Structure 1
Amino acid sequence: MIPAIRTRIAAISIAVLLGACASKGPSTAQYDFGPLPATAAAPATPASPTAIIIADIGGPASLDSERMHYRLLYADARQSRPYAYNQWTSTPLQLLTQRMKARIAQAGVKVLSTTDAAASTNLLRMEVEDFAQNFDTATSSSGVVRLRASVFRSHKLVDQKTFSRSAPAPSADAAGGARALADASDAVAADVLAWLAALPPSKE
């Protein structure tokens, strides 16, 4: 009787262990843009606006999700594929908004929200056109960020420009893509800062 009980207990234990292993699966890794580079942003020039309203960045619905995507340009550039076990800590649109605000504030410009500033203050609106990790080959990819920026003053359009940057991924995976997209986003932010500094000053 005792050997039979031991055998039954051992069988139950093995079944429970196998069930736990099957249900666990790979763990999900989460990524963001990492710490703000300490010296990446150029200081504000005398022509730069002293304060600016930055609206939340808009974009396609696919970027309003934490899912991480990539494209195999060598197979089908029209297909966006999701990583199975990797995601952003928040949506790419939110990450870009936070990064842009942080980079502009780092340059010495006061960043205001759409609810606490006067109508005459410069308003920056941005719309993402592309945000993707693109694989040229199975082992080589880059992060591409393209957005359209518009500056309004007293509800009138001052200027509009499209910015595009790409950065190589250090590895052919989600971690490499996150790094490349962060670098490309920082490069776009630097371009936007230079553009803002070159805009005509307010006459008010």
Structure 2
Amino acid sequence: MATINELKQDLHIEANLMGNPLRFATTWGIFSPREIDSGTDLFLRYLQVKDDEVALDIGCGYGPIGLAIAASAVKGEVHMVDKDFVAVEYANKNAEMNGLSNAKAYLSNGLSSVPKDIEFTTVVSNIPAKVGKEMLSILLHDVHQQLAPGGQFVVVTINGLRQYMKRNFIEVFGNYEKVKQGKDYTISRCVKQ
């Protein structure tokens, strides 16, 4: 059994994400501290980004998705937001540890604190099952407003939310694409027309 002092030490993950070897410091109390969760892993195997992407990662946690994008989009920039200050602290620490100066994390409930003048080319999220339909509605409309024409919104959800995402993507964006469905997770994508 680990002592309390041992439990308070950072955990460390090394992973190859989107072809980039990345290192992460994590801690208990943020999502999936021991390993890259299977939804994120599936998501990053199918996500397509350009090297000059202006991306937003909503609910970034300690940063695996946002930093994988930053490592692939070397001419781009990545905004990572989370409503948990510990997650934001670790996402920034991990950006620095991986030398990714094109990524930064900050506190925001959805897009509430994201500068309104930024047009994103890609918005991503590993949407928690318990997000609630009100928050999801706010997210969808805010993302639609800040996506550049032709920009993509790509999410990974548990399979149980697949039809819900499809309905809402079609309602707000007018389109929906199921990128990949795994055993437990589905990757859904829509494009701003």
Taking structure 1 as the reference length, what is the TM-score of the superposition? 0.27
Higher relative contact order (CA 8 A, sep 6+): 1
Which structure is larger by alpha-carbon Rg, 1 or 2? Answer: 1
